[in-house]
Amino acid sequence: MTSEAEPREKLRAAGFRVTRTRLIIGHRLWNGPDSRHVDVAALHTDIQASGEKVSLATIYNTLRDFERAGLIRRIAVASDRIWYDTDTGNHHHFHDMSENRLFDVPGASCEPHSLPEPPDGYRITKVDTLFHLEKVR
């Protein structure tokens, strides 16, 4: 479903130059499971663990750029970190705050919301639905 070439194409299609750094990041975003949830620190750790090297600031900047280009999506979470999702469509999330983990509500059961009427002069660009989890017992 994913291929080595995909990040390259995605970058080019979005008008980005294909650079070492963007490939390293794009690789981790798009060559894994279909939907991947990342925060900057974890991605940085990940990259370092694999022996590659990208500065933390650059990861912040690159993910911000990717988001602006619509390649990834920022998720609304009550957390001290920014979370991104590689799935840019509207879908629901579970959030386990105690472990700072975020994952999709499984099943294709994410029926599209019946959107409310936006205030005058505005339009709705995306919807975040977040279910907060707590460990039982």
Residues at the interface with a second copy (CB under 8 A): 74-79, 82, 92, 94-96, 105-107, 109, 113, 115-116, 118-119, 121-136
Residue closer to DNA, measured from CB, 2 or 48: 48
Among 7, 10, 22, 66, binds DNA (CB under 7 A): 22
| Pair 74, 126: CB distance under 8 Å | no
Q: Is residue 2 close enough to count as binding DNA by CB under 7 A? A: no
Give backbone dihedrals phi and psi of 9, rounded to 5 degrees, phi first.
Answer: -70, -40
Residue closer to a second copy, measured from CB, 51 or 114: 114
* Residues pairing with 95 in the sheet: 102, 132
Rounded to an integer, what distance in angstroms lies between the CA atom of residue 32 and that of residue 66?
Answer: 17
Among 6, 16, 87, 133, binds DNA (CB under 7 A): 16
Binding mask 69-88 for DNA (x = CB under 7 A): -----------xxx------
Burial of residue 88 (CB within 10 Å: 0-12, 13-18, 19+) is middle
Tell me how long the chain is: 137
Q: Which residue has the tokens 């460990």?
A: 135
Which parts of this chain interact with DNA (CB under 7 A)? 16-22, 39-41, 53-58, 60-62, 64, 80-82
